[in-house]
Amino acid sequence: MASKYQKFPPQSQETQPGKQYLMNPLPISTNPQYKPSNKLQGKVALVTGGDSGIGRAVCYYFALEGANVAFTYVKGPEDRDADDALALIREAAKENDAGEPIAILADLRLGEDECKKVVDKVVSQFGCIDVLVNNAAVQYYKENIEDITEGQLRTTFEINIFAYIFMAKHAMKHMKEGSSIINSSSALAYIGEQTLVDYSSTKGAIVSFTRSLGLQLIKRGIRVNGVAPGPIWTPLEVASLPVDRVVTFGKEAAMDRAGQPFELAPSYVFLASNECSSYLTGQFLHPNGGMIVNA
């Protein structure tokens, strides 16, 4: 069988989490063959980092399923991506009787107060939160641990795990029985990556956080699960990896290619829908192109 692998054009970006509109080729957020079935009709969903990559696809699919969608983005590098995401989500919302989506400017590394402000804005707009997707992340390529500065380490943990905890802490106050929290981890949480030590460490922390909070919230009827993707073509990769790694991105997967954001989004829909995944909590789905992980 011939390999499906194709190299990506050489490219790089200077700021994280990266600009989707500058990527070549553009990530694919939609799949015209997907058939929605009102799995999230009338629900309120908040997605961090929803302007691009995996987050944008998740927002779009949630709107296809009838959810009222809010997402966060970072000012400056993501302004255009946020506008593009809003237009895409708005189109899906109109077709499926969902409310007007909202984009919330936020820098989640600022801590608990910033996370609470995001939650408060969503509740002010929609009245509650039924689904929280913790998805925003940064990663920094370093070949030696000696090159990881304290500032980098703090930023990585503040965005990749601290914000997840703070968002859950405040969102759950506005959740009822049947609600869902979904955390984005990574295959690297299970297999590691020698050039992404601090990033992989935060993704491992997300796994433990998900399993622990899932147990704690059983009594409240709130499920906590996660998705641990393999190599997915998103702005984060172009903004953080050296060009030679970008060109061969996805080669490490058994399917011999990078995944696209639209290939992950149905996993989030499944976990968000109480009708589909009511007996799952503390668990992870692994859309990773055949990578072997000890899950």
| Catalytic machinery residues | 199
| Structure-block tokens of residue 211 | 């399993």
* Residue 23 domain-assigned (yes or no): no
Q: What is the pLDDT of residues 197-230, one digit of tens each?
A: 999 999 999 999 999 999 999 999 999 999 999 9
* Residue 12 domain-assigned (yes or no): no
* Residue 16 domain-assigned (yes or no): no
* Residue 198 domain-assigned (yes or no): yes
* Residue 2 domain-assigned (yes or no): no
Q: What is the pLDDT of residues 147-179, one digit of tens each?
A: 999 999 999 999 999 999 999 999 999 999 999
Tell me the backbone φ, ψ of residue 182, rounded to 5 degrees: -125, 125
In the chain, which stretches have pLDDT less than 50?
Answer: 1-3
Q: What is the pTM of this model?
A: 0.95
- Total domains in the chain come to 1
pLDDT at 78: 57
* Residue 237 domain-assigned (yes or no): yes
For residue 149, give its domain range: 42-285
pLDDT at 186: 98
Q: What CATH number is associated with residue 244?
A: 3.40.50.720
* Residue 6 domain-assigned (yes or no): no
* Residue 34 domain-assigned (yes or no): no
pLDDT at 2: 41
pLDDT at 28: 97
